[in-house]
Structures are given as C-alpha cells and as structure tokens.
C-alpha cells in the first residue's frame, strides 16, 4: 500500500505541470529544497523515478506521466469537494480565482474592489500574466475565470464580451504627428514602434492590423510590460500601440497623446472566459454576471 500524502501529490502536480522545481516552489510558496524533498519522499514511496534531467531541463518518466494523470484527477476531485463545501457557505465566505492579461490589470482591480465591497466576505486570488500564460491557466484548470482580449479558438471555452477595448497609437506630446489630422496608415511605415513581447494579445492584434493593410513597420524596443512602452514613448524612442485605458493617466496629465490615424482605433473587446466543462462556484458566477451587467457603467473612461 502506498503511503502518499496529499501534500506530496500537490507538490508533484505543480512540478510536473511546470516542469520546473523553482516555478513549483514559487507557485506553492515553498523553498526549492523543500519541493525537492517532497519529490524525493514521493519517489521513495513509489520506488520509481518520477523525473529525469537532461541538461538543464527536467522531463517526466513513464512512472511520472502515469502519476501525473492520477494526481490531476485527485486535485480536481479535491477542488470539487472544496467547491461543494463553499457552496454551502454561499457568497459570504467564497473564494474567487481569476487570471487576467497584463493590459486588463489597469481596470480589473477597480472592478474587483467594487465587487468585494458588495460581497465583503469574498477573498480574491488575482494572477496577472501575458495571454499565453492565462491560456495555460485555463487549459490546466487552475483558474475560475479569465479576462482577456481575443478569446482562443483552440480551447473548449465559454466566452462573452463585457466591455470595449480600443487600441490607439500613442506618441510623446512633442511628436510632429501630434498636430496632424487623419494621418494615413501608410505614413506609420516611417516611424519606429515599441512593441510587446510575442504572446501578447495587443501585439497579435497590431500585427494582424498592419498585415491586413499591407504595411511593414520598423520595430524598436520589445518589452513585456505596458509601463516600459509608455516610458519609452515619453522618452522619444518611438510610437506605441496599446489599449486606450492603459494610457489613461498619462493622457490626462498630457505626458502622452493619441495620434489621429485613419482606421484607428482598432476596436477589440474584453471577454470573460471559463472552461465549458468547469463547474463555476456561486462567487465565480456572481462575478461573471457582475462584469456582464455593470462593467461598462463602472468604467466610464471606457466606452461600452
């Protein structure tokens, strides 16, 4: 009989999903030696190696893949049990796990604060990542809901739009184009653009837009944060394309300007997303309804 603890399975599931001891330690708020010790104890119990190392990377062994299959099923059953018990408590003491793409972090905390004011007993776990990581959270079933721009076609998900997300061209206030009106899109080929990293939803939308207009742009700095792009644009390193409300503060204080370019803004929408087969808790259902009914009203700076 195997003497395996739930803690060991939880640690193993995290290492196997991330294929990284350090990322698992981060995720579980443990030290890396602590994670390694749990895995070693588990391997001693099953009397088989669960991981093998090749260079700097680790991979699951045959035994590891088999155990990963069962550990995920056990984790899901435990999550279902926790959900069933929390349902008995209602919205007064529920927990909401939500993942949002980094651009949505400019309005998501505001909406979450409004929601939590209404349901004071709710606790929130908010993860902010780029689009690829948020999609992985959905695929791995580690989040209740996700907020993103373009929903994926590859996952079996339910998605509804709740708010407009216009993408605009931003420039420093002293840029020559700030005084121009109805700037032809083709004129942008003469400019340098500061872009988000591959995997970013904003970058994908930008690339699709320019490709559809047969325009090739010159890329300058690439970064994984909107803040870095805003700072670089203010410094005169180039232009940027980003969600209008991402730059709301800088536009109000006149540190940035929106250029009047033809065919802009690129109109996108924010979506609330979850796995179709996922059983949503009463808290997750309430927050989803809250977004669909009230987000446009509560975010006056973003036209719905």
Full pLDDT tens readout for the chain, 304 residues: 577 888 999 999 999 999 999 999 998 989 999 999 999 999 998 999 999 999 889 999 999 999 999 998 888 788 777 766 666 556 556 789 999 998 888 899 999 999 999 888 888 999 998 888 898 888 888 899 999 988 877 778 899 999 999 999 999 999 999 999 999 999 999 999 999 988 888 898 999 999 999 999 999 999 988 999 999 999 999 999 999 988 988 999 999 999 999 999 999 899 999 988 888 888 899 999 999 999 888 775 543 3
CB 126 within 8 A of CB 108: yes
Write the burial class of residue 120 (CB in 10 Å: 0-12 exposed, 13-18 middle, 19+ buried).
Answer: exposed
Domain 6-84 matches domain 92-163+269-298 at the CATH topology level: no
Spacing of C-alpha 264 from chain mean position = 25
Pairing of strands 57-60, 51-54: antiparallel
CATH class of 92-163+269-298: alpha beta
Q: Which residues of 253-285 are buried (b: 16+ CB within 10 A; e: fewer)?
A: eebbbbbebeebbbebbbbbbbbeebebbebbe
Domain 165-267, classified CATH 3.40.50.300, yes or no:
no
Q: Which two tokens stand for residue 157?
A: 């998900």
Question: Can you give the residue ranges of every domain in the chain?
Answer: 6-84, 92-163+269-298, 165-267
- CATH, range 6-84: 1.10.10.10
């Amino acid at each position: 009989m195997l003497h395996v603890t739930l803690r060991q399975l939880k640690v193993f599931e995290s290492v196997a999903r991330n294929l990284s001891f350090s990322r698992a330690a981060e995720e579980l708020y443990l030290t890396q030696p602590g994670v390694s010790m749990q895995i070693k104890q588990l391997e001693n119990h099953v009397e088989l190696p669960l991981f093998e190392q090749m260079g700097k990377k680790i991979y699951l062994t045959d035994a590891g893949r088999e155990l990963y299959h069962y550990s995920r099923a056990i984790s899901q059953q435990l999550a279902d049990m926790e959900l069933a018990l929390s349902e008995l408590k209602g919205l007064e003491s529920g927990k909401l796990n939500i993942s949002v793409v980094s651009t949505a972090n400019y309005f998501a905390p505001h909406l979450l604060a409004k929601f939590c004011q209404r349901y004071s007993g709710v606790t929130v776990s908010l993860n902010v990542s780029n689009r690829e990581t948020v999609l992985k959270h959905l695929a791995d079933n580690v989040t209740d809901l996700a907020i993103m721009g373009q929903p994926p076609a590859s996952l079996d998900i339910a998605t509804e739009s709740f708010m407009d997300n216009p993408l605009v061209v931003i420039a420093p206030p002293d840029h020559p184009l700030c005084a121009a009106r109805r700037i032809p899109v083709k004129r942008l080929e003469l400019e340098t653009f500061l872009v988000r990293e591959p995997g970013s939803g904003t970058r994908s939308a930008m690339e699709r837009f320019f490709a559809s207009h047969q325009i090739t742009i010159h890329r300058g700095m690439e970064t994984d944060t909107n803040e870095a792009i805003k700072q670089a644009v203010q410094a005169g390193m180039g232009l940027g394309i980003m969600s209008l409300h991402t730059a709301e503060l800088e536009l109000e204080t006149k540190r940035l300007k929106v250029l009047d370019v033809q065919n802009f803004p690129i109109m996108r929408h924010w979506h609330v997303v979850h796995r179709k087969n996922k059983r949503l808790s009463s808290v997750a259902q309430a927050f989803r309804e809250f977004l669909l009914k009230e987000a446009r009203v509560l975010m006056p700076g973003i036209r719905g």
